[in-house]
Amino acid sequence: YKQGSEVLLEQRNGLSSPGMAFTLEERLQLGIHGLLPPCFLSQDVQVLRVMKSYETKSSDLDKYIILMTLQDRNEKLFYRVLTSDIERFMPIVYTPTVGLACQQYGLAFRRPRGLFITIHDKGHIATMLNSWPEEDIKVCLISFYGAEKNLGPLQDLGCNNDLYGPSYSCTRPFFLIPVLLPWGMDNSSQVYTSLPVLWRFVSTSNYPLNYRYGMNCLIQFEDFANANAFRLLNKYRNRYCTFNDDIQGTASVAVAGIFAALRITKNKLSDHKFVFQGAGEAAMGIAQLIVMAMAKEGISRADAISKIWMVDSKGLIVKGRSHLNHEKEMFAQDHPEMRTLEEVVQRVKPTAIIGVAAIAGAFTEKILKDMAAFNDRPIVFALSNPTSKAECTAEQCYHLTEGRGIFASGSPFPKVTLASGQTFFPGQGNNAYVFPGVALGVIVCGVRHISDDIFLTTAESIAEEVTEEHLAEGRLYPPLSTIREVSFKIAVKIVDYAYKNNLASWYPEPEDKEAFVRALIYSTNYESFAIDNYRWPQAAMHIQDV
């Protein structure tokens, strides 16, 4: 009876229990016969039952709750359901529905997922890490929501946003520890966190993380404000295995879309001129990776920077403007001031415009028509999330550019059919294409420091997965249904790059890198409890006794 209750406790944790798929023999051996309903359901049948329940829900939030409840109850089944139709479920468990779920977090509270660290825990982080039940941690996701980005009702985002889950990546879920810093704003949007204290807090957090989980533990930062995001990245990128998804992940997926677009425009990256709406983390990360890619084509850094124009809340970023931080100063142009994006587009005549400022409708009808007038195939990236913050819709872009626009967005948009009968399937520049494969490749070969070259390699790998048929349909990214395979191929390329450039720390170098990476891929199939000594050691001992 004791062992039966222990097994059911593990089942309630949902990490590896097959639930109703326990066979009669397994139930008898574990002493849980009678503690489950007298019914035996294969995983395929369980999937059908979940789908039947899912289809009864009309609102996206209710569908989200159904899936997250399943994750708490049976994680293997949760990932099996998601991978059965990734394109269908991605908008529910990720952008854009996850934003609504965050706003309603208090009303839909279930089992908390993650380690919550507050300002009052400073000095006790190592002790708190001992509370986390898993010891073999490969990835630590540190997210801070509140005063840093003035997110207001999205302060609970970290609790609901399982970044590595909805990506259906290859990394095993129990390799991840989400560390949430849920302080910065209360429900009245009153700032009560001192940002200098935050800075000192995060600065002292990395050591206990690496002390407990090893120097190869990947630390990912998420949703820090511009100044702190760049400071953290610049300070720690050569000391720890770390990256910032808002800066480097967004950059990689955006540049991947640009690489794919070059196959339509039939020219080089250095032949293009870019105007950014926004000059925050995402814009700077994309711009810096574009400069790096142009340098790879052979042009100087100064010439590459001259092809990038940035517009923030005060207008065009130009030399001599006061209060420019280091990142903005890098891309300041020697040009008279201009206040509006329309004016900048009219004067600069870019070949590409990229929106990353979350200003809905920033790409006006005039801007889109001007882009079509200046270019045979204008590149229009409306990358802001959620959908309500997109700079323009896919329909607006295709209609106003007469079907010649090369469009990508951060949120999903439905297909667009023009009067001519031509149909487009807009590409979604989702970071889920990037960080799972990067994480897998990094942890598989033990990369200690993640360089920007890795993110450029990732962008090239994603673009290679876009076929001519995809481009003809308007897609700049491979279908979401292939995202697990995309993550796998990214990881293999990173492993190959790491060993060629002496970045790997696990030796000897594997001869078959694909097999080496595939060995760590998470499987949604149920495993026999009898051989799962790691999860159920007492159950395994009981079987040996029998």
Annotated binding site for (S)-malate: 385, 430
Using a 10 angstrom Cβ sphere, with 0-12 exposed, 13-18 middle and 19 or more buried, the burial of residue 97 is buried
Burial class (CB in 10 A: 0-12, 13-18, 19+), 369: middle
Report the distance separating Cα 391 and Cα 222, nearest Å.
23
C-alpha 471: how far from chain center: 23
Task: Provide the sign of the torsion angle of the four alpha carbons 212, 213, 217, 219, taken in this order.
Answer: negative
Token output for 174? 């129990």
Q: Helix 452-464 and helix 250-265: axis angle, to 10°?
A: 40
Buried b (16+ CB within 10 A) or exposed e, 160-185: bbbbbbbbbbbbbbbbbbbbbbbbbb
Per the annotation, binding residues for a divalent metal cation are 222-223, 246
Q: Output the six-digit token pair for 24.
A: 């009669």
- Nearest CA-CA partner of 310 in 341, 346, 281, 285: 341
User: Do residues 198 and 148 lie in contact, with contact meaning Cβ atoms separated by under 8 Å?
Assistant: yes
Helix pair angle (60-73, 86-93), 10° resolution: 100
Q: What is the biggest distance separating any 2 CA atoms in the chain, rounded to whole angstroms?
A: 84
- Per the structure block, which two tokens stand in for 359? 């200003």
Q: What is the identity of the amino acid at 263? A: R
| Residues in the annotated binding site | 222-223, 246, 385, 430
Side-chain half-sphere CA neighbours of 266 within 13 A: 3
Beta partners for residue 242, in sequence order: 219
